[in-house]
Amino acid sequence: MGLIAALLGAMFSASKDLVSKKISYSADGTVSAFASFLFSLPYYLLLLLGLYVLGYENFAMSGTFLLLVLLRSLTDAIAEGFKMHAFSQGDISVVSCFLSLSPLFLLIFSPLITGDVITAYGVMAVLLVVAGSLVLVYQPAGGGSKVTRKGVLFGAAASLFFSLNSCFDRLAVQIASPVFSGFAMTLLAALLLMPLVVFRKERVQELTLHAKPFWLRGFFEIAYMVSKLTALQYLQAPHVVGIGKLALLLSIVGGRVFFKEAQFVRRMAAGLLILAGVLVIVFAEVG
């Protein structure tokens, strides 16, 4: 169940990132980050209502859960802000590789925050994921990759904060359901970013102007979060994040098909290293 949920999360994550990249050409990064939370909330409410009526949701919470929601929302709001700004600075297939560094940070944070024990398989898998990401970072002279120094810094910073919120996700879903945990975290993250948007007329206008793609991304956002949080009930945070890096392969293909990005073969070869790391995780879990 954990593996299936993690794989579905990778697919929805790639879909969400492709929509984000398309929006980045015309929408401010802060507006886009706020919209990623705002436009997923109605989907959460409908899903929670349906689960409650069917008897599958009891809205369990505690003081510890609320603290985790706060910490997760803060780190997610910061991470999403860096991520949306990174997408405006370069090719999605290059920027995404810096977002793939989160498993490396998790090797440090996960044992300290969640108490998960990192196995030899886990270390091997994470190193393969990071190696694939670093191959993507390398840019030969005249290679044609489009990414700025800001794109690199924003992507790496987003990766660090995403690793932190994955740890808080892991702890939160041990207390409340994946859907309720995702809703609470998304709601608070939206409230944290709201003052940066609603008090500026041009940013409010952007929300209306790009409403259609924002609604589409909102669907992918909730699908990704519920899948990820479900996987975290069964698997350690580094494993879930490692499997989630399959989204990078889909982003590489999507970058080539939708945005005509260059160096497809080299980027796909690097992506296959990441896939190898994912397969190590799968082998460890099912073996």
Give residue-wise pLDDT tens across range 33-66.
Answer: 899 999 999 999 999 999 999 998 988 888 999 9
Cα 186 vs. chain centroid, distance in angstroms? 13
The residue-averaged pLDDT of 135-146 equals: 55
Quote the DSSP letter at residue 59.
-
pLDDT at 143 over 60: no
Residues 23, 263: contact at Cβ < 8 Å? no
Q: Which two tokens stand for residue 172?
A: 């939160």
Give residue-wise pLDDT tens across range 244-269.
Answer: 777 777 777 777 877 777 777 777 77
Q: What are residue 147's phi and psi, to 5 degrees?
A: -160, 140
Burial 70-79 (b: 16+ CB within 10 A, else e): ebbbbbbbbb
pLDDT at 197 over 90: yes
Q: Which two tokens stand for residue 98?
A: 């810096």
What is the number of domains present in the chain?
1
Q: How far is CA 280 from CA 67, 76, 128, in A?
A: 34, 28, 9
The residue-averaged pLDDT of 114-132 equals: 76
The residue-averaged pLDDT of 237-247 equals: 75
Return d(Cα 52, Cα 49) in angstroms, integer. 5
Share of the chain above pLDDT 70, in %: 87
Instruction: Determine the structural domain holding residue 254 and report its residue range.
Output: 2-286
